[in-house]
Structure 1
Amino acid sequence: MPRPRSLTPTTLATAALAVIDRDGLAGLTMRTVAKEVGMSTMGLYRYVTDRAELERLVVDLVLSQVDTAPPDPAAPWTDRVAAMVRRLRGAVGTHPSVIPLIVAHRHRSERLLGWSETLVGILKEAGLDGPRRVVALRCLLAYVIGALQLDHLGPLAGPGTSVIADLPEFPLMAETAREARGVGVGAEAEAEFDDGLAAILRGMECGHRP
């Protein structure tokens, strides 16, 4: 097997991401990535110390697509927060299998820290400070991650909804499931995400008013 003359962090991350996109996160090993770039497993250790470092490279690659620049300062703060949230969702949603890695390595990602810094700046301008700002940041990040995980692993409008709709022992959930069949399907998925985000932002608005 011919050995590449040199590998850059981006080349390695791209190869690892290709493995994840094709085989899922469980398929990511030093061996599979080495095979992807055409070298021996031991040879790969000349470029990364372990799988954790490889994971961080993947996280950096995916999050490199996130725009961290502040949105239009003339826009309402809720619109600016929504814009930042959609940016993160757009970048991460392209590679949903990577989400667990982003959660695990989020504190080491400069791009995610940059995104968070911009978002926190908007929250500060809106008057959220101290613990309220902490909760707001965590809530928004959790919403993006949770929504993407649900879409990827078990859409709320998927087969599970039909099963719940036929359970007489849970009448309220059955009724809700029947309603859910037509919510968030196809093109409406974006609208469902935006509706949820709007609800969170309304809560933040109420929470920081004098």
Structure 2
Amino acid sequence: MPRPRSLTSDRLASAALAVLDRDGLAGLSMRTVAKELGMSTMALYRYVADREELELLIVEFALGTIDTGTPPADLPWRERVEIMVRRLRDTLGAHPSVIPLSVAHRHHSRAVLRWSETVLGVLTGAGFEGERRVVALRALVAYVNGALQLEHLGSLSGTGTQAISALAPEEFPLMAETARHAQGVEVDREFFDGLTALLHGLDT
């Protein structure tokens, strides 16, 4: 098949993201993206060298829309961090299969680095320095990505939670009881209550 004459980076990334959204991470390959674009797999290699470059392109495209502007300076630092977290959560929540890729490519993605730079600015303004700032940023990144993966890729509130609540109480009494309670906890409450606990813990 002839290659498209106007295959831009955005068009390539958009096609790859469509495959990822539809088929998940397991369905993403050079072949499936080429098929989505109506071109041969070999022709696709004229635009990206390998899957790693393709993944980074997806991350940049998907997260490039995040507002990384600094939140209002008159707000408390925890609220400013929460604003940044909400922006990241909303964007990743629209494309859950991008979450593992954003973690894998976090050191090379300009979009991820810009978000982190803004968060570091907020933390610095709140008095976080040195190793304490390192721990704070990594804790935030770990929490957001972990919570989002549980929410979208391994839901605690769906069939998994129901299965755990049905476990034999003599073997897993606390797991079964906790899972029953979990069915009444809304996703947003679970996420942001957890974030609040983390932020307060960082300030000790």
Normalised by the shorter chain, which TM-score bucket?
over 0.9
- Equivalent-residue separation in structure 2 for 1:171 and 1:48 (angstroms): 52
- Equivalent-residue separation in structure 1 for 2:34 and 2:180 (angstroms): 48
- Equivalent-residue separation in structure 1 for 2:136 and 2:38 (angstroms): 45
- Equivalent-residue separation in structure 1 for 2:156 and 2:126 (angstroms): 33
- Kindly state the Cα deviation for residue 2 of structure 1 after the two structures are TM-superposed: 4.7
- Equivalent-residue separation in structure 2 for 1:26 and 1:152 (angstroms): 15
- Equivalent-residue separation in structure 1 for 2:94 and 2:141 (angstroms): 17
1:184-203 to 2 correspondence within 5 Å? 184=186, 189-203=187-201
2:93 corresponds to which residue? 93
Contact between 2:161 and 2:180, CA under 8 Å: does it hold in 1?
A: yes
Tell me, what secondary structure is at the counterpart of 1:140? Answer: helix
- Equivalent-residue separation in structure 1 for 2:46 and 2:40 (angstroms): 11
Q: Which amino acid aligns with 2:196?
A: A
1:1-210 to 2 correspondence within 5 Å? 1-166=1-166, 167-168=168-169, 169-184=171-186, 189-205=187-203, 207=204
Q: Which amino acid aligns with 2:54?
A: L
Contact between 2:72 and 2:80, CA under 8 Å: does it hold in 1?
A: yes
Q: Which amino acid aligns with 1:195?
A: D
**Per-residue deviation, residues 47-106 of structure 1 (Å, max 9, x unmatched):** 111111111100000111211100000101110011011111111111101111111111
Structure 2 unaligned segments of length 5 or more: list them. Answer: none
- Kindly state the Cα deviation for residue 163 of structure 1 after the two structures are TM-superposed: 2.5
- Kindly state the Cα deviation for residue 3 of structure 1 after the two structures are TM-superposed: 3.0
- Equivalent-residue separation in structure 1 for 2:36 and 2:163 (angstroms): 40
- Equivalent-residue separation in structure 2 for 1:178 and 1:92 (angstroms): 28
- Equivalent-residue separation in structure 2 for 1:12 and 1:163 (angstroms): 40
- Kindly state the Cα deviation for residue 119 of structure 1 after the two structures are TM-superposed: 0.4
TM-score between the two structures when normalised by the length of structure 2? 0.94
- Kindly state the Cα deviation for residue 198 of structure 1 after the two structures are TM-superposed: 0.8
**Per-residue deviation, residues 145-201 of structure 1 (Å, max 9, x unmatched):** 1111111122212222223223211212222122111112xxxx2222111111111
Tell me, what secondary structure is at the counterpart of 2:94? Answer: coil
- Equivalent-residue separation in structure 2 for 1:3 and 1:130 (angstroms): 50
Contact between 2:96 and 2:153, CA under 8 Å: does it hold in 1?
A: no
TM-score between the two structures when normalised by the length of structure 1? 0.92
**Per-residue deviation, residues 14-68 of structure 1 (Å, max 9, x unmatched):** 0100111111111111111111111111111111111111111000001112111
- Kindly state the Cα deviation for residue 112 of structure 1 after the two structures are TM-superposed: 1.0
- Equivalent-residue separation in structure 2 for 1:49 and 1:122 (angstroms): 37
- Runs of 4+ in structure 1 over 4 Å off: none
Aligned residues: 202
**Per-residue deviation, residues 112-168 of structure 1 (Å, max 9, x unmatched):** 111111101111111111111111101111111111111112221222222322321
- Equivalent-residue separation in structure 1 for 2:149 and 2:53 (angstroms): 23
- Equivalent-residue separation in structure 1 for 2:136 and 2:183 (angstroms): 30
